[in-house]
Amino acid sequence: DVKVTQSSRYLVKRTGEKVFLECVQDMDHENMFWYRQDPGLGLRLIYFSYDVKMKEKGDIPEGYSVSREKKERFSLILESASTNQTSMYLCASSLGSPRGSPLHFGNGTRLTVT
Amino acid sequence: AQKITQTQPGMFVQEKEAVTLDCTYDTSDPSYGLFWYKQPSSGEMIFLIYQGSYDQQNATEGRYSLNFQKARKSANLVISASQLGDSAMYFCAMRLISNFGNEKLTFGTGTRLTIIP
């Protein structure tokens, strides 16, 4: 079974702090994704990565950056946390091929910025 | 614009009845894929079913089937004989290819399904 592990289930940070959300997958998947989930808005793609050191902006990348130094690890960075980044963050991974391979999700990190 | 739409924010259904959750999409790409995910109150995202745009048959997985109507651009999820454990949030998602040729999934806003005993 694919396992996607997010390092924290709950996180509370102060406005202006630099925040790191970590995600590790154990199935040698090429693709990794960061989404945020907000009520009424569904899941929105922040960034994704299709290879080590390769990344692409999603639909809402402003205020975020990412790092993928190793294939199994994909980090989401909030350079200067703001209250509007309070949300549930979901990491996911998938095989590069065949096209249509499902995303496997971690359990999420609920981030509160005060 | 490429987008995916779920118009039912919430649904209440009697146990053992069939349920149809609506999903419409918009894309000009001839090659795409459609997914359904279930998110129970525990928060995990569970993959249910997949339909490729070139698949001739509607996808089925146990009690789940996908009513794929390509001309109407709809991909409704049908759950037969609903159970209390089906109460959850359901998301429809579309596989798209980015401007740089990479695969990504875009999700709808979800439908909260509640099964009534």
Pairing relation of β-strands A10-13 and A109-113? parallel
- At residue A72, φ and ψ (nearest 5 deg) are -85, -10
Closest in B100, B106, B109 to A40, CB measured: B109
Closest in B31, B47, B98 to A102, CB measured: B47
Per-position pLDDT tens, chain A of length 114: 669 999 999 999 999 999 999 999 998 999 999 999 999 999 999 999 998 989 999 999 999 999 999 999 999 999 999 999 999 999 999 986 666 788 999 999 999 999
CB of B47 less than 8 A from some CB of A: yes
User: CA-to-CA distance for A114 and B49, rounded, in angstroms?
Assistant: 39
Q: Which two tokens stand for residue B17?
A: 């009845």
| Residues of chain A with C-beta less than 8 angstroms from the C-beta of B75 | none
User: CA-to-CA distance for A72 and B4, rounded, in angstroms?
Assistant: 30
Which of A55, A103, A104, A109 to substitute to test the interface with B, most B CBs within 10 Å?
A: A103
Tell me whether residues A31 and B100 touch, CB distance under 8 A: no
- Convert the pLDDT of each residue in B62-108 to its tens digit: 999 999 999 999 999 999 999 999 999 999 999 988 777 788 899 99
Contacts of B106 (CB under 8 A, 6+ apart): A45, A59, B2, B3, B4, B93, B94, B96
How many C-beta atoms surround the C-beta of residue B51 within 10 A?
Answer: 21
SS3 B3: strand
